[in-house]
Structure formats: structure tokens, C-alpha cells
Structure 1
Amino acid sequence: MKFWKKARQDGPKTNKDGLIARPQLSSEALLAWGTLYVLLACNTPFWRAAMVGRDWGALSSWGFAAALLVACASAYFAFLALLTWPVPRRGVRPVLAVLFLASATAAWYMDRYAVHFDKDMLRNVLATNWDEARELLNWGLAGNVLLFGALPAALLWWPRIPQRSWTRTLVWRGSSILGALVLAMASVWSVSADFAALNRNHKEVRYLLTPANLVVAAMREAVGPGVLASRQSRQVVGADARLGAVWQQPQRQGRPALFVLVVGETARAPNFSLNGYERLTNPELTRLRASGQLVNFSHVTSCGTSTEVSLPCMFSPFGRRHYDEEQILTHESLLHVLARAGFQVLWRDNQGGCKGVCDGLPTQQLNHAKVEGLCLEGQCLDEVLVHGLSKIAADAALASDGRGNLFIVLHQLGSHGPAYFRRYPAAYKRFGPACEDESLRNCTPDQVRNAYDNSLLYTDHVLSRVVEFLDQVGGPKGHYDTAMLYLSDHGESLGESGLYLHGMPWAIAPREQTQVPMVTWLSPAFAQHFGVDMACLRERSDEALSHDNLFHSMLGLLDVQTSVYEPALDLFRPCRTSGQATAPAASPMVSPLKPAGSTR
């Protein structure tokens, strides 16, 4: 009883109104508590990755964890103390509140989908439109942000921060920053061997440390190539582009070409039955392959693991082998080269745009079109991309230049997650039960795979519709020589090793995110007039290819002569019998494929 009486006497102090008095904390103390909170409450993915394989029964493991915590907290403190120095009392609370909310949000997604947050992931977030974003918003996220972000942020305004003179503030703030830096270095030094091993062998862990990953990504994006590209016109690629000898052949006179390039979204090669997958996800393409006009390429690697990276890269002459983001974003794409050579180029989009690939060229944004049976609730199925193609082909055939050569890009919504079940109509709900929840962890792995495979089944149908259209306008009574190539921008993780969706840093990304399907279909007239040996193409279909081949293969197949063409990257060249020479003598211009000073 004496204990309880004393506890009541020594309990929380109250003010004159009987309310618990607000505690008093210096701005430095509030910063210190805030950094510790973020590291402990909003960094579960980081600690899980940093401590993987360690024995928690060993004292050394606890020592490493403690040293890592002190080092990170000290570094955070020093950065935030320096950032809020101009407004030491008023700046601390807003800055910490923003970091609490951002960290809680990022931590939920990283933990839920096992994603890493780097500059490319930030770019994906910034480029996400509302239709895509609302599929990632759910009550689980709201509860997490409220509990770990909003509530702690509100509590920041409970303690009072005392007023200090500028002289005292300068002394306290300066000495605390210096002390934090010394403490950070001492902590790292105390576990230098383990820290060096973590940094060297698992560099990806840095993309899980919140909010440092958010701040670094934002700073890199703010001064990155994307900003530069938006402020200047694109540099010319293939200024000497022109149609080659094939176009002068007698059988080609008066007969234009119509090529459709379908850019898939989030389709991964392992789930294509054309590549040996046990489920029949490509029944219609399989029938087309039996006709001998369709060829499937089974070993194709993407340039990136997100649309923001892969789309500009696959249409550029640089590719992954000479990957230079600034060069890619500030130079023209394959489409500009084709347009310069004399093709009418059209980009039709059912997603979030062309990411600069089609700048200055005709485009049609169809994701908010109003086509009965295909569009509902502000979103359209991918068959909307095929809708109206006949009229486009008819109008192009009457072009004033007399050729009417047409190159159309269809950018799919494809298998964009996590709402795979929204990517196909009810008729293609063949594999079940399918996950019908945007929060994939609420479904079993089999349910997630079922929904994803259904989306691929529908993509198979869309591609067959494209071929059907091309067969109509390019058949015996048609006006065109027609062809199609389908290539996905990147793959997708469906729960393998705890990973979902895509966007992992390319260097550590699993094959599910980098192995993509690619098929091509050539009409008999196109194959004959452009000299493509289909049997040869089928024999070489298992060779290793990548997004790097797209730029040069399109130029070679369509016989567009330009000095930027590289024959070694043209996948059709070994199987062409026409003998066209698509690489004229080198011009005085410097080839953009290997920029000066590039070490990649």
C-alpha cells in the first residue's frame, strides 16, 4: 500500500487545470527520439535484411545490431539537425512529421511487396497515374500510416520546446552535430569488418533504410537526367536515315508496309506456354505458330525492371550494354528514326504514356476512352488498342506521299499488378480460384498465379486480334505487307522468395522480373518481299536476346539505312535473303552508341 500511495504522490505532474503538464524537450532531444523511433518502428525490412543469417543467440549479433542502430541514428540526427538549424524550434516538428508519414508509407509497401526503394522506384511512384495508384491503396496501408505515421506525428506537438538565445542554440546545435558524427564513426569502426561485409556483399540493403532511401532518391531525381531531358530538345539520332534497296524492288512498288509493335506490360517469360510453361496461357499464339508465320523467342532479357527504365531504354540505340540514363533520355528514339526515313508513326497507349519515347510524334491515349464493352469505370481492356485500327490503316493508305508506310506501337496495360483480375474480362477467367484483392498477401500464392495467368491468357487473345487485323489488311486482297512484334517491358514477381510486383534494382533482380516474352508474326507477303527466311528464324529462336536488339532489328528488318545501325544486334539479319545493306559508309557524325568517356 505504501508503494501505491507513493506512486500516486510521485505520479505525473498536472497543471493548474488538473491536466497532465506537457513535458519539456529541447529540439535536439526531440530529434534524437524521432530518429530512434523511425529506425525502430519503420525499418522492419531493413533490419530483417541486415541481420539475415546471424545467430541471435550470439552476443556479437546483438553488438552489431546495436552499433548499426547507433550509427544510423547518429547520422540521421546530424543530417536533420543541420537541416533544421535555421529554424531550430519551428522546423523540427514539421520535418519529423513528414518523415514519419513518408517512412510509414514506404515501410508498408517494402514489407508488403518486398520492394527496394531507389531512384527508379521513386520515378515509378511519381509516374503512377490515379488509375494505377488506387489499386495500391487499401485499408491495410491506411491503418499502418495512421498508427505508425500520423499518430506519432501528432504527438510531436505535445512536448514543449524551450526558447533559447541564438548564441546558446549555436553552441548546442553545433556541439550535438559534432558529437553525433563522432558517435556514428565510432559505432561503424567498432564493427568495421561486419559493416564492410554488409556494404560489399549486400549493397541492396541500403535501399531498405528508411527514410534515407527516400531522401537520396528524391535528391538524385531532382538533379537527374530526367530533369535535364525535360529542359532541352532531344538530340538527333540517325540523321542520315533513309529507305534502302528493298523498297526499290519491282514487287514492292506501290505496296506499303504496316508494322505493329506491341509493347507488353509486366509479362514474364516463365509463364508463357510458348516457353514451356505447363499451363496453356498462349492457345491462340500456339495455333498461329503451327502455321509457320509466328516465331517465339524464348531467351530475352529486359533492360530494366520497371516501365520507367525499360521503355526509354528498349527504344534507344544505347540499351543496357551502353546504359547511360542521361544519353537515353536526351536522344531521339527508334520511332524518330523511322519517321525520318518516311514511316508514318503512331503511338497508341492504354497505360501511362510513352515516357518520352514518342515525343513530338502522333499519339492516342486510350485508357480513358469510351468504347462499349471494353471500357468501364475509367479503365479499358487492352482490346481497345485494336479498336479503330482498320480506319487508321485505310487513312494511312491514302497518305499524300504515295507510300503510306505505317509503324504503329500498341502500349498495353497488360498484366500490370497488383490488380491482375482487372486486366481481363470474365470470359478469360479460366484459371481459378483467382486472387481478386489488390493486397496480394491476402491471397494464396496459387490464387495470385491464377489471376496473373488469366491476364496472360487475355494478352494472348489481344495479340491474335492484332494478327487477325494484319491478315485482313495484308492478305491477297489487302493493301499492305504486314508484320507484328510483341515484346514485354519487364517481368513480375508473384511471391517467389517473398517478392511481389517488380522494380527491384536490375543488378539483383530475380529472373522473373528480367526474363520477358517476345514473339514475331510476318505475313507471307512481308516475309517474301523483305527476304526473311522463317525456317531460319525458327532455328535461331532459342538464342540469347535482349531489349538491346529491338532498335537495330527494326531498322534491319524494315531496311532503313543509317549509320547508327549495328548489324551484330539485328536478330533478323542472319535469316534475311534479300541482301540489303542497312549500314552505309560511316558519316562524319559521331555515333551516339558509345558516348565519349563512357566506361560502360
Structure 2
Amino acid sequence: MPGAAGCLDRFCRPSSDAVTTMIGMDHAWLTRRRVALASIAVLALLLMIPNVALVVASTHVKKPSWVAASLVAPAAMLLAYFAVLGRRPRLACLLMAPFAALVPTVALYILRYRSPVTEAVVGTVMATNPAEAADFLGPWLWVLVALSLAAGAFAIVAGRLGARAGLQLVSSRRVHTTLIALAAVPVIAFASLQVAASREPPAARLAGGDDVDSRSFRIAQDSYPFGIPLTLGVWWSDRVRAQAAIARTQRFRFHAYRAVHPDRRQIYVLVIGESSRSDHWQLFGYGRPTNPELSHTGHVIPVTDMVSPWPMSIGGVPALLTRRPPQLGLFQPFEEQSVVGLMREAGFDTWWLSNQSPSGDWNSPITVYAEEAQHLEWLTLQKYDSSLPERLAEIVRETHGDLFVVLHTIGSHGNYDSRYPDAFKHFVPTVQDGGPLATDYQRVTNSYDNTVRYTDHVLSQTTDVLERTDAVTAMWYQSDHGETLPTATCAMTEHGHGFRYEFPVPTLFWYSDAYAQAFPGKVATLRANANKRATSADTFATLADMAGVGFPSHDRSRSLFSPTWRYRPRIIHPVWQEGNAWVDYDHADLGNGCELVRGRAG
């Protein structure tokens, strides 16, 4: 039956037009899949940009193992992420949209500050108002907004393309289940490490910061984008601890009063230095011109023999702010408020301006005291310490009452070359200049001395602000601890080791003509005591007397402004010794090179 055969043949053999249509459909489907797959690959590369920026800009010694870990770890986590959600690529891309939108800002931060986004950065961002954030971004603001919107939109488009193409990155259920199990292993491991760390005493967490577990968690936390949730978790737990500490001290009262009432406005400024050592200050006998401005400033009284009990900020700052007994261990409880609370009780309008971070194991115990101020501002995003006296000038102009202002500087904290603008690159070559001798101790010294020279400028700016008023004004500067610098016999640097140069700290007092008229006896007494063997344990009482504040339990024998001041053994804590061991600094063996301070332990 030819007709039937012909009909059957028509069913079995599609026409050439039909074949062309089917081939076209297959080609379009393949094209959609390829475009969708390419867009997801581009999204993954976009999310890797902050990790590449960190490797390029980091101040770490770039060992091959660190570079590999910093790139391979986030790449592996991204691969696992897209594999786990391989059957739902649209969801995978949508969840990444916020992180894609953050890439331009995060990359800019890393390149500018040479640091990953840590819990300290998160804390600063949370405490920063929109105006300060806009100042940080400057002319890049609208460019970053546009790039962020484009990056976030691209992630959404990539997800939509994947869904329309019916793309499945992993089609096998068995492979999908296996990848989920493998991806869960590092997540569980890192979560376990965090839980275990939270149960350790603070001293153990800080002392053990260089072990394998801590380094592994640090690599994961620094990785983008998966480190962001980890960082947020660390910041939140840190914030909870800080709030608990604030609650323990907020009911404390000194019952302060004004012992003296000048007939005009009073403005007192405490400048807390960072990692500065007195033997690198021209004012204290250093042979280099590291204090060109203060050396020609009148009414400056250097306090030449001041010692900090601790070689790191977490102990050094509370030591000068509070009446905490110097024999107490780093984490033994002490529930009095600081000099900020004292001044607030006495009727001063209290301000805390900080160029450091509000969060982190090292910073939160200090933030507890910063929170005592009626006004608290974090200026970290402004980068350089000159933002502090600039803001002080605004506060002085905008207010009318008596002020007590704390300026917490970043000072000479490493990385040294990032602490001063190019205009203050006076001693060269520096570490940043690079070259085959980039680790030579003289380069480190040059970089460090430039930070001291810049601190000199910041302090001079501060005295200029105070001198331009007709108020009774004074400034007290004191560093939280010293610093170890490499020499021909010592390869170590920075602080926290308990070495000999981490305890003596530069300290000075500046006063206005109006202060000299209001308190001539105080100025004369401080001059008489300025070369005596003092300690940060004397600073609280000294600041109270500087401002003419009294309170029932005030021990004036601790005040350098008092004729009754008397010497006490200067207790210091070479860090990480067992228990709460301490050493009498004036009877210690200071050693040579960078040996630990040794002596009779308490």
C-alpha cells in the first residue's frame, strides 16, 4: 500500500524544516546554558576579588604557604558552595547578591588599609555614622554605589539565567549528597573551634593566638565571602561580653566634686598614645629630630621616667585610666569606673574620640571605659590621627561648657608606614620603600621614627586648638606601652613580648597661660616631680588633680601634681607568665638585646 507507506514515511522522517527547527532549539538551549554557566563563573571570580586584594596589599610576610591558603581556601569554599547548591543555581546566586554588592567597598578598604575585614572593622562600621562613612569614601562614594548596584544586580541576573536555562551544576543525587557532606566538615570544624575558644579564659585565647587551630580559623575568617558571617558572629559575642562588663560598672560612683572653681571655662584633654617608646623622642634625649614642633612649644613639661605596667594596650590603657591596682592580673575583675566617669560626675561634658576600633579581644576592654563618656565617636575610617585634633576643634567651637576629652590615637602601632601621611616621611629609606634590604633594622627604625614625628605634629595640633581659646586648658599625653624595635642583636619587633623597651613610655603635660594663672602651684609641683620614678598607676590621681577634681577616696600621694606624691614600687607584668606574676621594674634585670624583663616575681 504505497499510500500507507508514504504516510508512515512522513511520520518517521521529519521534514528538513522540522530538523532545522530542532537543531536551532538545541543550539539556543546550549547557548543559554553556556551563558548561564559563564555568568556564574564570572560571579565566582567577582567574589574572589577581595581575596586577591588582600594578598596584593597585605603587610604580612608573603610566604608561599600563606598566599596559597589565602587564595585556595576561599576558592575551595566557593566551589563547595556552588556544588552544594548545584541543583538550585538561582538560589545560590541570590544568596551571594549581597556579598557581590559589598565587593567594591571591601576591596577598597583592603587596598587602603592593607587589612582584611575583621570583627574590629565590623564594630567600627556599626559605630560609624553615615557622614563619617561618606568622608571615608570621599570622591569614590557614587562610583562605589554604582559598582555595588551593578555587582548585586549581576548576581541576580546570573541566578535568573541559570533558572531559565534549567542549569544544574551537579545533576547526580549521589554526588550532590557527597558534596554536602564534604562541605559540612570544615563548617563543623570551624564552629567547634569557635565554641571551644569561647569557653577558654581570655588569657588563654590571647596567648594561644598562634597555634594551628587559631591560624586556620583566621584564614577562614579572612576569606571572602564566607568569612563575613564568621566575623559577624565573633563581633556579636564580643559585643555581648563588652555590654556585660559595662553593666557591672555603671552603678559605681566616686561622689566627685570640683575642688577649685576658676572664673572661666575649663577644657582638659587626655591623649592616649600607642606603642610609643620614650627613647625615640627628641624631648627625652633622642638624637634624631622626632619632636620638631613640641621642642619649640612653650609650657611643655616632659615626665621623663614613666613606666607602664603592661606591654600591650589591653593592660596599659586601663592602667592609666583607672585605679586598678598594678598587682592585679590582666583578667582579674575590677569594677570601678575610669577617670572618664570621674570627670562626668564632676560636671564636665565628657567626650571620647578614638582612631582605634571599638571591637576585638584587645579593644573591647578599653571600649568599656570609652562608653562612660557622654559622647563617643570612632574616627577610624579617617585613617590618620590628625582627624582627632580636627574634631576636637569642632567640639570646642560648638560647645560652651567645661570639657574633658580623651583622644585615643593609633600612634606608632604597626604597620608603621601606614600611620603617617607621605608628607611626614622624613627618615628614609623606610620598610615601605622595599628593595633587597626591606627587613633591615634601620629601615624599620626609620619608619617607626616617622610615626613619632607625626605624633609630635598631632600633639602640636592639639595644643594649638587649646591655645586659641580663652579657657583654662591643659593636655596630658601618655603612651599605653612601649615598643620593641629590631637591632643588630634582636630580630623582634612590636610589643606584647615583655621585653625591656615595652615598659618605659613617653609622657608630657602642656598647659595654657590661663591654666598657669589658675593653678600656679600645680604647675610648680609637677615640674618638681617630673623627673621622679612614676608609673601609670599614678595617672588617675594625677589627672584628677590636673582638673581640680576631688572625691572622698582620692589618694593625693599618687598625684604628680601633689607635694605629697611618693614613690611606690613600679610593678610590671612580663606578659604570659604563669598566674599573675609581676616584677619590680626598678630591681629587675633588663637584659640586653630583646631579653625578657626578669626579676623577683610577685
The TM tier, using the shorter chain, reads 0.5 to 0.7
Give a deviation string over 1:266-322, Cα, whole Å, max 9, x none: 896688543566664534532457x674436777689659xxx99999756779987
| Pair 1:571–1:225, CA change in 2 (3 A) | farther
| Pair 1:514–1:41, CA change in 2 (3 A) | farther
Kindly indicate whether residue 32 of structure 2 is the aligned counterpart of residue 22 of structure 1.
yes
Give a deviation string over 1:15-61, Cα, whole Å, max 9, x none: 5786961227999x99999779856983564699999555xxxxxx7
Larger radius of gyration: 2
Kindly indicate whether residue 278 of structure 2 is the aligned counterpart of residue 282 of structure 1.
no
Counterpart AA for 2:351: W
Kindly indicate whether residue 591 of structure 2 is the aligned counterpart of residue 577 of structure 1.
no
The 3-state SS of whatever aligns with 1:521 is strand
Counterpart AA for 1:344: F
Matched-pair contact (CA < 8 Å) for 1:487–1:517? yes
Q: How many residues align?
A: 480
Give a deviation string over 1:408-442, Cα, whole Å, max 9, x none: 216489989979669xxxxxx797899xxxxx999
Q: CA RMSD in A?
A: 7.1
Kindly indicate whether residue 233 of structure 2 is the aligned counterpart of residue 219 of structure 1.
yes
Shift of 1:521: 3.2
Counterpart AA for 1:178: A
Q: Distance in 2 between matches of 1:30 and 1:283?
A: 57
Q: 1:134 aligns with which of 132, 137, 140?
A: 137
Counterpart AA for 2:268: V
Matched-pair contact (CA < 8 Å) for 2:292–2:453? no
Q: Decide which moves more: 16-25 or 347-356.
A: 347-356
Shift of 1:344: 2.9
Q: 1:236 aligns with which of 250, 255, 263?
A: 250
1:142-153 matches, within 5 Å, as: none
Shift of 1:507: 6.5
Q: Distance in 2 between matches of 1:169 and 1:88?
A: 13
Q: Which residue of 2 aligns with 1:485?
A: 476
Q: Distance in 2 between matches of 1:485 and 1:514?
A: 18
Q: Give aligned-pair identity as a percent.
A: 16
| Pair 1:201–1:30, CA change in 2 (3 A) | same
Q: Distance in 2 between matches of 1:233 and 1:137?
A: 40
Q: Distance in 2 between matches of 1:231 and 1:346?
A: 20
Q: Distance in 2 between matches of 1:350 and 1:182?
A: 40
Matched-pair contact (CA < 8 Å) for 1:335–1:345? no
Q: 1:335 aligns with which of 334, 340, 343?
A: 340
Where is the helix percentage greater, Structure 1 or Structure 2?
A: 2
Q: 1:344 aligns with which of 334, 345, 348?
A: 348
The 3-state SS of whatever aligns with 2:33 is coil
Q: Which residue of 2 aligns with 1:176?
A: 179
1:88-99 matches, within 5 Å, as: 88-99=88-99
Q: Which residue of 1 aligns with 2:460?
A: 461
Q: Which residue of 2 aligns with 1:120?
A: 120
Q: Distance in 2 between matches of 1:136 and 1:302?
A: 40
Q: Which residue of 1 aligns with 2:192?
A: none
Q: Which residue of 1 aligns with 2:574?
A: none
Q: Distance in 1 between matches of 2:139 and 2:504?
A: 24
Q: Distance in 2 between matches of 1:303 and 1:411?
A: 18
Q: Distance in 1 between matches of 2:323 and 2:426?
A: 42
1:365-380 matches, within 5 Å, as: none
Kindly indicate whether residue 543 of structure 2 is the aligned counterpart of residue 554 of structure 1.
yes
TM-score, normalised to structure 2's length?
Answer: 0.52
Matched-pair contact (CA < 8 Å) for 2:482–2:505? yes
Kindly indicate whether structure 1 or structure 2 has the higher relative contact order, using CA contacts under 8 Å at least 6 residues apart: 1
Kindly indicate whether residue 506 of structure 2 is the aligned counterpart of residue 520 of structure 1.
no
Show structure 2 runs of 5+ residues with no match.
1-22, 190-209, 359-366, 380-385, 484-493, 567-578, 582-602
Q: Distance in 2 between matches of 1:331 and 1:169?
A: 63
The 3-state SS of whatever aligns with 1:124 is helix
Q: Distance in 2 between matches of 1:276 and 1:231?
A: 41
TM-score, normalised to structure 1's length?
Answer: 0.52
| Pair 1:232–1:272, CA change in 2 (3 A) | closer
Matched-pair contact (CA < 8 Å) for 2:522–2:561? no
Q: Distance in 2 between matches of 1:137 and 1:311?
A: 36
Q: Which residue of 2 aligns with 1:260?
A: 268
1:410-559 matches, within 5 Å, as: 411=407, 456=455, 458-465=457-464, 468=467, 483-487=474-478, 518-521=507-510, 526=519, 528=521, 532-540=525-533, 545=536, 551=540, 553-555=542-544
Shift of 1:261: 1.7
